[in-house]
Amino acid sequence: MEQTRRELYIVIERDEDGLFVGEAPQLRACYSQGRTLDELMVNMREAIELCLEEQDEAGSLPEFVGIQKILV
């Protein structure tokens, strides 16, 4: 059986230690980190696969609308 492929967005930040930290905002508590962007993306793929296993039991993914910048 072929698995459905999904396109997800990753929000990437750099923490105080210089590590790249990624979050998949469409998935609850789906985070990972890496020393390089390549390492982060490998780690995020693994994290997303685990999060999707749990999400599939809960239902469909919320629609990703976008990211906005706000000045406060």
- The ranges assigned to domains in the chain are 1-72
Give the pLDDT of residue 10.
95
Q: Is CATH 3.30.160.250 what the domain over 1-72 is classified as, yes or no?
A: yes
State pLDDT tens for residues 5-64: 888 999 999 999 999 999 999 998 999 999 999 999 999 999 999 999 877 666 678 888
Give the pLDDT of residue 12.
97
Residue 1 pLDDT > 60: no
Beta strands in 2-71 (DSSP E): 11-14, 20-23, 31-34
Residue 69 pLDDT > 80: yes
Give the pLDDT of residue 17.
96
Residue 2 pLDDT > 80: no
Residue 22's contacts (CB-CB under 8 Å, 6 or more residues apart) are 10, 11, 12, 31, 32, 33, 34, 40, 41, 43, 44
